[in-house]
């Protein structure tokens, strides 16, 4: 089993727009079963929209506009990356958070490519694994994790390959404490973090007030007029999240 530590950069922006954000760089390192670095992948990607990087992105990443101008497009790079992944007989992707897989899936769809390969891959969210290891709840950056682990950070933050290398150092340091049964596949989400946080807080209030623990009663009491539930996919997703929060609370009672 190889471990592929993945990082991407994308052309986020500071202003509202209906145009999509896009991946502008993919970096990855391949670790063998002994956690030795045996291969690397790195490529810039020229986006379709906002191909001229704004000052925020240029300052954050340090990516030169001249290199973006001559970079290949997403379809070519993602095909090369998939081919590079295929050099491993078996592998598990590792990401810091879930945004990397989301962006790859979204760009695959934007370019009208088949997303089945990416939807079928298993990945392990190392950020969540690290937080479980630290028994912490607040997200941290890779750099903060390295500092906490007394590992010197090398390379440039917010360049994909350097970030993948640094993430691999965190992975090595906490490897023995990770539960790989918690690997996952990318799943579309129709609710946002604010809505899910509202569910979580509402469940706490409902339990404290000893109100009936039903989804119907909950939506009537806590969500009416606050969340648009007209999309049945969102409604089903939030109900599933609600039931999971109830189950966690019941498990915590049992101790």
The mean per-residue pLDDT over the stretch 45-53 comes to 92
For 214-247, how does the pLDDT look when each residue is reduced to its tens digit (9 = 90+)? 898 888 888 888 888 899 989 999 999 999 988 8
Radius of gyration of the chain (CA): 20
| Residue 118 to residue 186: CA distance in whole angstroms | 8
Contact (Cβ atoms closer than 8 angstroms) between residue 166 and residue 143 = yes
- Asked whether the whole model's pTM tops 0.95, one would answer no
Beta bridge partners of 94: 5, 124
| CATH of range 2-185; options 3.30.930.10, 3.30.360.10, 3.30.420.10, 3.30.450.80 | 3.30.420.10
How many angstroms separate the Cα of 184 from the Cα of each of 122, 126, 245? 5, 11, 19
Contact (Cβ atoms closer than 8 angstroms) between residue 108 and residue 100 = no
Q: Phi first, then psi: give them for residue 96, nearest 5 degrees.
A: -100, 90
For 145-188, how does the pLDDT look when each residue is reduced to its tens digit (9 = 90+)? 999 999 998 888 889 999 999 999 999 999 999 999 999 999 99
């Amino acid at each position: 089993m190889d471990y592929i530590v993945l990082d991407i950069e994308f052309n986020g922006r500071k202003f509202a727009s209906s145009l999509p954000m896009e991946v502008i760089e993919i970096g990855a390192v391949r670790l063998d079963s002994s956690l030795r670095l045996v291969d690397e992948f790195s490529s810039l990607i020229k986006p379709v929209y906002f191909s001229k990087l704004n000052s925020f992105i240029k300052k954050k990443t340090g990516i030169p506009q001249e290199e973006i101008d001559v970079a290949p497009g997403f379809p070519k790079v993602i095909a090369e990356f998939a081919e590079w992944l295929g050099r491993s007989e078996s592998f598990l992707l590792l990401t810091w958070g879930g945004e990397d897989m989301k962006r790859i899936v979204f760009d695959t769809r934007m370019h009208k490519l088949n997303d089945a390969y990416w939807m079928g891959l298993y990945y392990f969210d190392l950020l969540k694994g690290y937080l479980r290891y630290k028994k912490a709840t607040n997200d941290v950056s890779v750099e903060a994790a390295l500092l906490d682990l007394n590992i010197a950070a090398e390379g440039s933050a917010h360049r994909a390959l350097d970030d993948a290398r640094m993430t691999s150092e965190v992975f090595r340091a906490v490897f023995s404490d990770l539960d790989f049964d918690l690997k996952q596949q990318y799943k579309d989400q129709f609710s946002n973090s604010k809505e899910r946080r509202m569910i979580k807080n509402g469940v706490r209030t409902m339990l404290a007030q000893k109100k009936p623990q039903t989804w119907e009663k909950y939506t009537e009491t806590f969500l009416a007029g606050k969340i648009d539930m007209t999309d049945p996919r969102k409604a089903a997703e939030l109900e599933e999240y609600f039931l999971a929060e109830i189950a966690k609370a019941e498990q915590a009672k049992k101790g």
